Structure 1
């Protein structure tokens, strides 16, 4: 996007020379009153047999000037700007609120500089590992430079929608959906990092149109339907393995504590073979999924 913006002459917003509309309203009203007075004078002159041509010419002058003055009014609401052009040449942007006036032959295009909220459609992309995923995002943007928004792109609103999809695809392809093997940034596990990258990517893409992104974040993230079942089973398997690992580590610690307690309290003395058998039995009891069936040894410990 930087190469595109440097390849063309970027526009830059500047303040226009619009006039106070209430002052011009008084002027337009005065011109209209003067036209009515001139018409009345022409009628009176014609009734009294005096020349009325001068009065008619004066009335015509005030009619033309008054009509032009009435055609130059426009309104600007809060957080709105009017891009002023003269025969296609940019003359500035008027951001002064209220009733405004410019010469009627000057073009006026109103542009909202309020914050816009866009919720993108769900799109299918491939993550870093090539897995198809469905993603969607929410973007809050506003026009920063009205001249760039109007003159540097054809339709800045449509441009925003297209660049949101392109930026979402770019950021989504940088990271895997989930991390099964390596410790790296993932779309699911690091939302703050991904949202920051998405905002930076969109700001870089949209600066050519004079648009700034205030907030961007993923609102939907899921595996595509064709692999969702397989990935769910993989996640379940990882969860089972992690749980088993925790159970085994806990069981080993309990067995170690039990052996140390037996030895320190001088309850029973076991040789290596019997100690190994006890460790095996305790691990089976502690790590097994089903309840164990106790076996009572009626003879000697060594029989």
Structure 2
């Protein structure tokens, strides 16, 4: 037997009625007939009692007889089975697993802290019970291994100065990374009959020893990008100003005056502080 076998045992309510009837009958006959032989029926009742099984919704019972797999009960209700069966309870409900924060290296070798949130449930009770030693511990260990592998496949973020141009990163590509993680974990847990319902990164950050340096780096990158936009806008505004002044013939500027005007406008538009106006009562040459 290598596959899961679903069985439906005898109705527990019927056997409960029979056991109760035998119990009452044995007590009555023992005292009425005054024959101790009828007391043996009590022994039969106590042998029957261990065979009763209550299966709640989204639970199962794996049945064994002296080491031999008999089958799995998945339908909820009250049942009666062979009293000598060994009954192992396995929950079929969805379970959450929040992994510990692991320190791993991303694709660029930067140490990062990462954890995952996994939603899983048992799909094949035979594999969960017999193909692995402890399926709950198996889920934890294989999830950690999958997270370590995932972190080494992608960089934490893109940095232009390293010539890195990745379409998928751990920080920005949440959906793509989650799909890859879910597929990786599902392949690892299939041997234990585990179905992965969802897998997502729960925590992601640089490791403490490089967190401050990377924060400064990100800030510097943001400042450079902002300055680049400011300069582009300033050049466009200066160009528009010179064009409008020439078109409307408000003032006739020679090359020297244009250069001075461009310089002043660029300083005002690109500066990070408010400009202080200076009145020039002379000429540019005096």
Whether these two folds match at TM > 0.5 is yes
For the 8 Å contact 2:55–2:76, the answer to whether it is kept is: yes
Within the alignment, does 1:19 sit opposite 2:30 as a pair? no
For the 8 Å contact 1:21–1:73, the answer to whether it is kept is: yes
Within the alignment, does 1:232 sit opposite 2:215 as a pair? yes
Cα deviations by residue, 1:126-180 (Å, 9 ceiling, x for unpaired): 1110100111221111111111110111001111111111111111111111111
Partner of 2:237: 254
Partner of 1:286: 269
Gaps of 5+ in 1: 1-8, 44-54
Say which is worse superposed, 277-286 or 260-269, in terms of deviation: 277-286
Partner of 2:152: 173
Task: For residue 124 of structure 1, report the CA deviation from its aligned partner.
Answer: 0.5
SS, match of residue 138 in structure 1: strand
How far apart in 1 are the matches of 2:117 and 2:14?
44
Task: For residue 224 of structure 1, report the CA deviation from its aligned partner.
Answer: 0.5
Partner of 2:179: 196
For the 8 Å contact 1:16–1:84, the answer to whether it is kept is: no
Task: For residue 57 of structure 1, report the CA deviation from its aligned partner.
Answer: 4.2
Task: For residue 293 of structure 1, report the CA deviation from its aligned partner.
Answer: 4.1
Task: For residue 121 of structure 1, report the CA deviation from its aligned partner.
Answer: 1.2
SS, match of residue 216 in structure 1: strand
For the 8 Å contact 2:30–2:37, the answer to whether it is kept is: no
Say which is worse superposed, 284-293 or 147-156, in terms of deviation: 284-293
1:93-132 matches, within 5 Å, as 93-132=72-111
Within the alignment, does 1:245 sit opposite 2:228 as a pair? yes
How far apart in 1 are the matches of 2:281 and 2:274?
22
Report the TM-score, using the length of structure 1 for normalisation: 0.87
For the 8 Å contact 1:17–1:92, the answer to whether it is kept is: no
1:45-84 matches, within 5 Å, as 56-57=36-37, 59-60=39-40, 62-84=41-63
Within the alignment, does 1:184 sit opposite 2:175 as a pair? no
Cα RMSD for the two superposed structures: 1.9
SS, match of residue 179 in structure 1: coil
In the alignment, which of 199, 202, 208 is matched to residue 216 of structure 1? 199
